[in-house]
Amino acid sequence: MATSSTSADEYAFWVRLAAISSTSTALVLVVIKLYAWLATDSSAMLASTTDSILDLFASIMSIVILRFALAPADKEHSFGHGKAESLAGLVQASFVLGSAILLIFSGVSRLLNPQPIVQGEIAIWVTLISIALTLVLVVFQRYVIKRTGSIIISGDALHYQSDLFLNLGVLAAIILSQGIWLHADGVFTILVALYLVFGAGQIMVQSVSQLMDSELSDDELAKIKNIVLTHGKAKGMHELRTRQSGAKRFIQFHLELSDDLSLLEAHSIGDEIEFEMCQALAPCEVFIHHDPSSVVQGVQSRYEA
């Protein structure tokens, strides 16, 4: 078995930094949007404020859950605590759905009772500031997701990506509601709510997939097979099983080797394959069972070099 502690430490650093950044940004957004809503009485601004409050709550929850998800394996959890991250993804998606429902009610109410927005210039400036802050955060979150593939940051990023659309919608609604199209305030609110529902569904599917121990992606499985089958002394492999918990991938398989190899030689070959696999798919743990090739003829799910 082999692991990559350096990659795990790097993962923890970036995920924690992204969680703290999103919480700080959400706090600022809540304060300025709440002020703008009280000053303008805009339905779209109320929806934006509500969404940011939920974002703040979800981001704080992410920091708490990450303390468990990033904790090392212990006696009671020998495979680590990574699935806490998938649970957090489900909870975050639930918050997004709750936010969408509130937005729909608010949007329908304003459609039925359209009103001009007062002190629109305050809402415009607050919205522009919100767009700038959110854009910076989303760019950083995308960078972290690219480096880590974190579900919990992906869920958090969904909130703020939707905030970009929401803020643009609020900006358009405020401008159009100044005597051009009074229903714009409600229409944009509902459109953003529908976008949130779609995004929340994607996060739920990804989280459930990990909780149900689904196999790794086809590309990752292809990498595993290629590493084993291109090794000069590997005869083949079978019973490949994989899953992912949080950031860590778990890989196990039977390695087929020549009958005449010594135990030491077989062990060395396994170590070489483990090392290469951990370099390509870090952070991961690899479990290899060594089999003499003569006893595995006809085994199902077999891959030959």
CA distance 128 to 68: 36
- pLDDT tens, 195-223? 778 878 887 887 777 676 667 888 999 99
Q: For residue 245, give the DSSP letter.
A: E
Q: Which of the listed residues 188, 211, 234 is the one where a domain comes to its end? A: 211
- In this structure, the answer to whether residues 67 and 160 fall within a common structural domain is yes
- In this structure, the answer to whether residues 12 and 63 fall within a common structural domain is yes
- In this structure, the answer to whether residues 173 and 279 fall within a common structural domain is no
- pLDDT tens, 117-139? 777 788 889 999 999 999 999 99
- In this structure, the answer to whether residues 154 and 288 fall within a common structural domain is no
- pLDDT tens, 10-62? 877 888 898 889 889 989 999 999 998 888 877 778 777 877 887 787 777 76
Residue 254 is predicted with a pLDDT of 92
- In this structure, the answer to whether residues 180 and 55 fall within a common structural domain is yes
Phi and psi at 182, nearest 5°, equal: -65, -25
- The token pair that represents 292 in the structure block: 């003499």
- In this structure, the answer to whether residues 127 and 272 fall within a common structural domain is no
- In this structure, the answer to whether residues 149 and 292 fall within a common structural domain is no
Please give the residue that has the higher pLDDT: either 76 or 298.
76
- In this structure, the answer to whether residues 204 and 285 fall within a common structural domain is no
- In this structure, the answer to whether residues 234 and 173 fall within a common structural domain is no
CA distance 186 to 176: 11
Q: Please state, in angstroms and as integers, the Cα–Cα distance from residue 261 to each residue in 61, 62, 180, 236, 266, following that order.
A: 53, 50, 82, 15, 6
Q: Which of the listed residues 211, 239, 262 is the one where a domain comes to its end? A: 211
CA distance 284 to 250: 6
* Domain total of the chain: 2
> Which CATH number is 255's domain given?
3.30.70.1350
Please give the residue that has the higher pLDDT: either 140 or 244.
140
Q: Which of the listed residues 211, 242, 275 is the one where a domain comes to its end? A: 211
Residue 103 is predicted with a pLDDT of 77
Residue 77 is predicted with a pLDDT of 60
Q: Please state, in angstroms and as integers, the Cα–Cα distance from residue 210 to each residue in 105, 130, 206, following that order.
A: 33, 33, 7
Tell me the residue range of the domain where 231 lies.
218-304
**Half-sphere exposure of 262 toward its Cβ, with a 13 Å CA cutoff?**
3
Residue 250 is predicted with a pLDDT of 87
Is the CB of residue 30 less than 8 Å from the CB of residue 56? yes
- In this structure, the answer to whether residues 179 and 233 fall within a common structural domain is no
Residue 7 is predicted with a pLDDT of 64
What is the value of pTM for the model shown? Answer: 0.56
- In this structure, the answer to whether residues 200 and 223 fall within a common structural domain is no
- The token pair that represents 170 in the structure block: 């609020």
- The token pair that represents 97 in the structure block: 């759905």
> Which CATH number is 166's domain given?
1.20.1510.10
- In this structure, the answer to whether residues 118 and 173 fall within a common structural domain is yes
* Residues in CB range of 281: below 8 A, 6 or more apart: 220, 223, 224, 249, 251
